[in-house]
Chain A
Amino acid sequence: MRIMLENLTKRFGTVVGVDDITLAVEDGEFVAFLGPSGCGKTTTLLMVAGIYKPTAGIIRFGERVVNQVPPKDRNIGMVFQSYALYPHMTVFGNMSYPLKLKKVSKEEQMLRVQEVADKMGIGDLLDRRPGQLSGGQQQRVALGRALVKQPDVLLFDEPLSNLDARLRLSMRGEIKHLQKELGITAIYVTHDQVEALTMADRIAVMNRGRLEAFDAPDDLYDRPKTLFIAGFVGNPPMNFLEVEVCQENGAFYAVNQGLRAQVPPERGEPAARRGGRVILGVRPEDVTLADAGEVRGSVFLVEPLGRDDLLDVHLDAANRLNVLADPAAHIRAGDTVTLSLNMQRAQFFDPQTEQSLLWR
């Protein structure tokens, strides 16, 4: 089922929850809505589900406009962060509830629930009540309840947020696998970018009710179109420095007080064309310790992350860089280091419009 949102807007009184969003989710596609808290992800999802009526704009399922269609006639399955299992029903009761409402016969309910439950690995828990299950088991029941009705669309609202890190990792794979296997169009709301980057075919990045970008994970990461996306996607976040880009003898250089780094022409040229001060973005993994580096700074803080050490390096009063360093280098706070920036992957942004100078 293809889902089309056209100029979708939701206002609560004077509060704008969702502001003029237009995007299409292709049939069978897995799309993540990613954004900080309060940016309107849940509101958008609830409009797709039919719980909220849009203030303006159109929602289409296939060709059909569904703005006025109640949730029960949309054939959607939804999984909530809180699991939202009915506490007074058994696992079987929970999973068969959508079928019961569809007036499916008792025998078929049994068959279909058992089949889905077995697939989810909860086949032997059908007589339990939600209160007698672990969080992970509850989430499987919730997922099972959403799948058992064979929905056209699957909606997820931060389904893994309440699980521990290991379980989250394995459920991530399972959900992704199930969605591809069943070929059901899915919208997955999360504020965890790792989840979005690993699971989604495309990611809709939202900020303050607006759609900032709608792109494949690689594009968001390697070709961010706005300053917000560059800073939001990636952990630890991208470093930003104010520089001027100038051309000397056919080569481009990014320059500020303590920095002078050569930029490849395809990136340097658009930045130089803009002229004046621009914002240079470099990811922490693209900054390396090098004796012949372009920048010097003093290490202010060392955060061991396990595989890497995250260094907070102060270049001068205003400029600082996050750097991922090999723990074997034994850098300590207070050390002076020289750094080299991988300008092959440098990003440039217009400081006024906050748009990328490289991609649009």
Chain B
Amino acid sequence: MAYATQMAPAGARSRSQAARARLTAYGFLAPAGVLVLFFFFIPMILILFLSITNLATTNFTTDVLKMATSQDPRYIVWGDNFERMFADAYAPKILFNTFFYVLSTLLLFNVGLGLIISLLTTHINRRAGFFFRALWILPRITSPAVYILMWKRIVASSPFGILNQFNELLGRPEANYFQGDPWVFIVMLNGFIGASFGMIIFTSAIESIPKDLLNASLVDGSSLLQRVRHVILPLLRWPLLFVITYQTLSLLTSFEYILLFNQGGAASNNEVWSLAAYNRALNTYFANAQWGYGSAFAVVLVIIGVVMATVYMRVFRFGELVAEPKIEVL
């Protein structure tokens, strides 16, 4: 609507022209709209529906009508799954794990390390910078299974573990990294991959800051660090918002590396919410996949994601930002 009225000053154009302008706008929006519909809204509706059923391996059916109407056996259990979830002894721990995992990986690596790499590599020789950034992309293009296998080798006990071989060389006692503090490694192995995303976005943003602006700041009397603080970082507000939002959401739903590394550890010590949903719904605990119960976990995840995305957009004043060029150039 806004588009059409903007394009057509009052009285200057006929109705049909306005309608055509609107159609064009919708035409451009359609491909993205179709994708969102099929890969977000429809799955969400399915999950919402599943979350009020008790569908599991034992009462499996594909007949949605039967699921909706059958009384014996009964499929629709309304809030039972959620009640059970809130009563789950592990749920609070899993929720805490999730926030711990997302926040520490995000801040230390996906944003922190990404920013540091891009700042460092844009301040050195161009080719050297390019080379170092290329190195950081390697973990991302390695298959997860191979990547985790390497990490398992790194932390394994003697005589296979790489870290422990160093311990031996230095005459230190053997350490059990795998059991000792898996979080350190889970955050690191996710972070090493996650950092490259922010790195790419931040690097291109830094490189698109006009040279004159950077020179002006040096002439005005700033040191390199002051220039980062006063000029570069403020101009990275939009890329920062984008990376934080996008990476929060992708970390919230990413569990494959934890699954491959230690399946969430003993007693759900390293289990995060998305892994819990996966375990309940698809990983056969006692050979019984509980799709209904797992879907309830997934619904909570969707709610957390939407809430966080909304909060970010408020905090960073998203509307104001998209109204202006991404990197303001005068």
Q: Would B221 and A98 count as touching, CB distance under 8 A?
A: yes
Residue B32, interface by CB 8 Å: no
Q: How far is the CA of A131 from the CA of B329 in the complex (A)?
A: 9
- Can you list 29 pairs linking A and B with CB atoms under 8 Å apart? A49-B218, A49-B219, A50-B219, A51-B215, A51-B218, A51-B219, A71-B218, A72-B222, A77-B219, A78-B215, A78-B219, A80-B212, A80-B216, A84-B212, A84-B216, A84-B330, A85-B216, A86-B216, A86-B231, A86-B234, A87-B330, A88-B328, A97-B217, A98-B221, A101-B222, A131-B330, A145-B220, A149-B221, A155-B219
- A336 at the A/B interface (Cβ < 8 Å)? no
Can you name the residue of chain A whose Cβ is closest to the Cβ of B210? Answer: A82
Q: CA–CA, A46 to B219, complex, Å?
A: 10
Evaluate whether A80 and B226 lie within 8 angstroms (CB atoms) in the complex, with A87-B235, A130-B330 already known: no
User: A residues within 8 A CB of B223?
Assistant: 70, 72
Docked Cα-Cα span, A276 to B258, in Å, equals: 89
Shortest Cβ distance from residue B188 to the other chain A in the assembled complex, whole angstroms: 34
Contact of A76 with B by CB under 8 A? yes
State the Cβ distance, A69 to closest chain B Cβ, in Å: 12
- What is the minimal beta-carbon distance from A15 to any residue of chain B, in angstroms? 15
- CB proximity to A under 8 Å, residues B190-247: 210, 212-213, 215-223, 226, 230-231, 234-235, 237
Q: For the complex, what is the distance from the CA of A267 to the CA of B324, rounded to whole Å? A: 63
- Docked Cα-Cα span, A149 to B216, in Å, equals 13
129-158 of chain A: CB within 8 A of chain B? 130-131, 138, 145, 149, 155
A101 to B224, CA, bound (A): 12
Q: Is A252 an interface residue (CB 8 A)?
A: no
> Which A residues are CB-close (under 8 A) to B215?
46, 49, 51, 78, 80, 84
Q: Which residue from chain B places its CB closest to the CB of A73 in the assembled complex?
A: B221
Closest chain B residue, CB of each to CB of A51: B215
The count of residues in chain B whose C-beta lies closer than 8 Å to any C-beta of chain A is: 22
B218 and A50 contact, CB distance less than 8 A: yes
Number of A residues contacting the other chain (C-beta, 8 Å)? 29
A78 → chain B closest CB, angstroms: 4
Interface residues of A in 18-70 (CB under 8 A from B): 46, 49-51, 70
Contact of A72 among B210, B218, B230, B235 (CB under 8 A): B218
For A130, list chain B residues within 8 Å (CB).
330
Task: List CB contacts (< 8 Å) of A72-106 with chain B.
Answer: 72, 76-78, 80-88, 97-98, 101-102
By the criterion CB–CB under 8 Å, are B222 and A84 in contact? no
| C-alpha gap A83/B210 in the complex (Å) | 11
Contact B220 A101 (CB under 8 A): yes
Known: A50-B218, A72-B218, A80-B216. A97 touches B230 (CB 8 A): yes
Q: Indicate if the CB atoms of B219 and A71 lie closer than 8 Å.
A: yes
Report A59 CB to chain B, min CB distance, Å. 15
Map CB proximity to B onto A282-326 as digits: 1 under 8 Å, 0 otherwise. Answer: 000000000000000000000000000000000000000000000
* CB-based contact B328/A131 at 8 Å: yes
Q: Which 9 A-B residue pairs are closest in the complex by CB-CB distance?
A: A87-B328, A84-B212, A84-B216, A101-B221, A72-B221, A98-B220, A71-B218, A88-B234, A80-B212
